[in-house]
Amino acid sequence: MSTVVSAPGKVLLAGGYLVLDRAYTALVFGLSARIHILVKDIETSSGVELSEIVVQSPQFRDATWNYGYHLAEGQGGIQVIQLQGASSTKISRNPFVETALTYALTYISTVLPRRHIKPTSITILADNDYYSQPANTPKNASHQFIDFGVRLQDAHKTGLGSSAALVTAFTGALLSHYLPKSLYSLPSEPGRSILHNLSQASHCAAQGKVGSGFDVATAVYGTCLYRRFSPSILSSLGEPGSSGFATHVKNIVEDTDTSLKWDTEISKRGVTIPPGMALAMCDVDCGSETVGMVKQVLAWKKDDPEGSKKLWDELQACNEALAKKLTAGAGIEEFREAFGEIRERIREMGINSGVPIEPKEQTELLDAVTAGVEGLAGGVVPGAGGYDAIVLLVKDDEETLSALEKFLEKWSKEKGSNVKLLGTRGELEGAREEDASKYGELVK
């Protein structure tokens, strides 16, 4: 028996930093680039019971993780232990996989308390745009997963939200695989709510902090207008294996604890990409240390509450204006003006906080590409900013995309950089079940 679930990456088009505060909202788009999780049962000899789950990511070197698992006492949930496996090389940890496995199996054990959790083999596949590729990498057809040729920890991320997409798809695949349809259906509204709450809990635990959660929400629901949840919902969850942990997980996932109700707001109404337009991403192959940037911006916000509130309020108004223009299908000049207003305030925030949210190199690139490509309606350095991929709103036609590619090739040669148009585009759909037959030998 095989199960496949995929979840999209994200681009935070408007609301970077604002999304950390419940007083503000963020406009987040899902992407066609997805993380795919394939789960299949491990066949055992008659009378043999295994308690082992093997996870592999075949696009990377030394990317196989073997886990044992057992039920902890005192409602402590499922405890997961990484095993050495057959390899003689030193094993590496993958905290996102390990934590998602722990939380998902713990929740499943509360829904099916008397059923043995079968051993499974899990394969992780990432669409190519999640990681920077060498300049000479040929374009690949849809659903071809290239060999990146490096260890996972050595790969350059493009900033599309790989960890959130991984945790969400991983969690959704385990829920769909282990729970019967009568108890769990991913496409249903209750199924999405369970997936969202469980993925938020495990993603926050894996990264060691309670984040804003916009990336997980997008991985579950797709393109949306997002207002964050109160951090207190997850901050008192406790540690896996501790007394009552499984009960706490079940209550939080099913939102039955009256003192800790989920207050996140996720709206898909009126959030769209205008007909004839597309959101395109350009990888600049650098990446940024987002955590340090966020800390510095929040320190400035604390030191200058009056000035920062004024700027954040202005930025929220600019973001809302862009959302309205997207829904109304405004003209290119109107979009350029809207993006210009947002970028002006983002640069002001960067100057005030001392953080390169829109670095001068990115300013130069965005200004040049907006002026140099006729069908381009503007763009921003999304999310927390820095040197991750930039996002552009463009006419969705061969002429514009070809002109954009030529412009970036010329720019890269002149600047000695590697700016590349990614194949991914903005899309509206979130996590979904996939047809296992599309993945060939991998699920047999």
pLDDT at residue 246 tops 90: yes
pLDDT band at 274 (very low <50, low <70, confident <90, very high): very high
pLDDT at residue 443 tops 80: no
Q: At 420, phi and psi to the nearest 5?
A: -135, 135
For range 144-164, the mean pLDDT: 88
pLDDT at residue 367 tops 80: yes
How far is it, in rounded angstroms, from Cα 223 to Cα 218? 6
pLDDT band at 226 (very low <50, low <70, confident <90, very high): very high
For range 362-389, the mean pLDDT: 92
Task: List helix spans (H) across 142-235.
Answer: 162-178, 189-207, 214-221, 232-235
Assign 3-state DSSP to the chain and report helix, strand, coil percentages, each to 5.
Answer: 40, 20, 40
What Rg value do the Cα atoms of the chain yield, rounded? 22
pLDDT at residue 186 tops 70: yes
How far is it, in rounded angstroms, from Cα 203 to Cα 222? 17
User: Half-sphere exposure of residue 161, counting CA atoms within 13 Å on the CB side?
Assistant: 34
Task: Please state, as a whole number, how many other Cβ atoms lie within 10 Å of the Cβ of residue 47.
Answer: 5
pLDDT band at 142 (very low <50, low <70, confident <90, very high): very low
For range 394-404, the mean pLDDT: 96
Rank 109-123, 126-140, 209-223 by mean pLDDT and report only the highest: 209-223
- Residues 6 or more apart whose CB falls under 8 angstroms from that of 113 comprise none
- Residues 112-128 as b/e (b if ≥16 CB within 10 A, e otherwise) read eeeeebebbbbbbbbbb
CB 199 within 8 A of CB 167: yes
For range 113-122, the mean pLDDT: 86
What CATH number should be reported for the domain whose range is 277-427? 3.30.70.890
CB 236 within 8 A of CB 186: no
For range 117-126, the mean pLDDT: 94
**What is the pLDDT at residue 30?**
96
How far is it, in rounded angstroms, from Cα 179 to Cα 182? 8
Mean pLDDT of the chain: 91
Rank 142-146, 292-296, 348-352 by mean pLDDT and report only the highest: 348-352
pLDDT at residue 331 tops 90: yes
**What residue ranges do the domains of the chain occupy?**
2-268+432-443, 277-427
Nearest alpha carbon to residue 361 among 345, 379, 381: 381
**What is the pLDDT at residue 350?**
96
pLDDT at residue 110 tops 60: yes
pLDDT band at 47 (very low <50, low <70, confident <90, very high): low
pLDDT band at 141 (very low <50, low <70, confident <90, very high): very low
Q: At 68, phi and psi to the nearest 5?
A: -100, 160
**What is the pLDDT at residue 45?**
62
Q: Looking at 3-17, 85-99, 138-152, 254-268, which range is the least confident one?
A: 138-152
pLDDT band at 46 (very low <50, low <70, confident <90, very high): low
pLDDT band at 236 (very low <50, low <70, confident <90, very high): confident
pLDDT band at 136 (very low <50, low <70, confident <90, very high): low
CATH 3.40.430.10 fits 2-268+432-443, yes or no: no
